Amino acid sequence: MKLVFQCLAVTSLALTSIAGGPAGKNVEVHAEAGRTLPTDIQLGVNPADVTIIEGDHGKIASIGDFNGDGLADILIYYVAQDPFPGVGTVVTGAGIVFGKAGLPPNTVIDLTRTAPDVAIPLSRGIHGGFVHSITLIGDLNGDGIDDMGVTVIQNDRTSLYGFFGSPSLAPGTL
């Protein structure tokens, strides 16, 4: 099986599964200009460099650098299905796991046993509305640090609230 990625630069790559890709088979990954990456990835055989266990109803929203340290941080969120009649899925909380330099291969970050570096409680919503989604929205203010967007639904209207990333973002609760 051959995968071809069209990209300007390859800094890292994670493959978790490929439809129709049998476990234990070699997969060639090619970067732009036909250069083969120097890693032979065997799905289902070689362990991942980093595994994140999110916990009940947890999902990875996006990856960005929210504290400006040059390392990829992982934004996760937790959902509840229809906690109030007719509302649908609601984001009840989120968190940020800061990137860490020098992680050894086969690192497991188990968020069922350890809290994320930054906890973002959202069960009460924002400005009286229900949180529908949370994601990376790029660098809104031009400071070179990724920012976070929170989509809120209130009275059949959707609003996007932006929160700027910052070098002062430290472990704790927002």
- E-strand ranges in 54-121 read 58-64, 73-81, 89-97, 107-110, 118-121
0.85 exceeded by pTM: no
CA dihedral 10, 14, 92, 73 (to 10 degrees): -50
CB 67 within 8 A of CB 169: yes
Retrieve residue 71's tokens.
Answer: 């390392």
28-52 pLDDT, tens digit each: 444 444 444 455 556 566 677 888 8
